Structure 1
Amino acid sequence: MQNMVKYIQEHFGEGLTLATLAGEFKMSESYISSLIKKRTGKGFGEHLMEVRIQKAQEYLRTTNDSIEAIAERVGYPDYFYFTKVYKKATGISPAAYRRQL
């Protein structure tokens, strides 16, 4: 399970899916999903989104990269969708977060 969490941390920006994870670890999607839920308290999608948002916040704090570039780096090729997900998860937009720093 620890290897799976590490894999998610390392590949979150590469279009990672539950199917990809299942193939990598040679387990069924439903079994992996239940393991992640047991370990994190969240489903795969919610856990992946949380990892992506945390990384986006790190990049917003530590780089001068555009928000569009950060969105793509963390696995959201659609800037507007990234902004929507980010705001729903944190309560503020990525631009507002950066301005607060």
Structure 2
Amino acid sequence: MQDAKFCSATLVEVDFRGAQLQNSTFLEANLTGADLRWAKLDGVNFSKAKLNNVDFTEAEFGNADFSEAIGLTEEQVRAALDWVRAIYPEDLCRQLGL
């Protein structure tokens, strides 16, 4: 599913465990409660996406764009791999020490 487009999609509680989602777009998508454990998310655009209670455990963030993401927490980010390279809202960058 690399390069997939999920713009404005409702993906509540969807199971993307281990999915290969590199360079996909989730612009303004609702991913509340989704399971993205072990997913490959390098270069994914999560700008303005709703990410409340998403499980990112050991997901590979790479250069993912979380700018203006809604509901993303420090705990979610720190559960992922390679999270330092991703783009976050300014307030979350401060919490993460970036």
- State the TM-score, normalized to the length of structure 2: 0.31
Higher relative contact order (CA 8 A, sep 6+): 1
Q: Comparing both structures, which one devotes a greater share of its residues to helix? A: 1
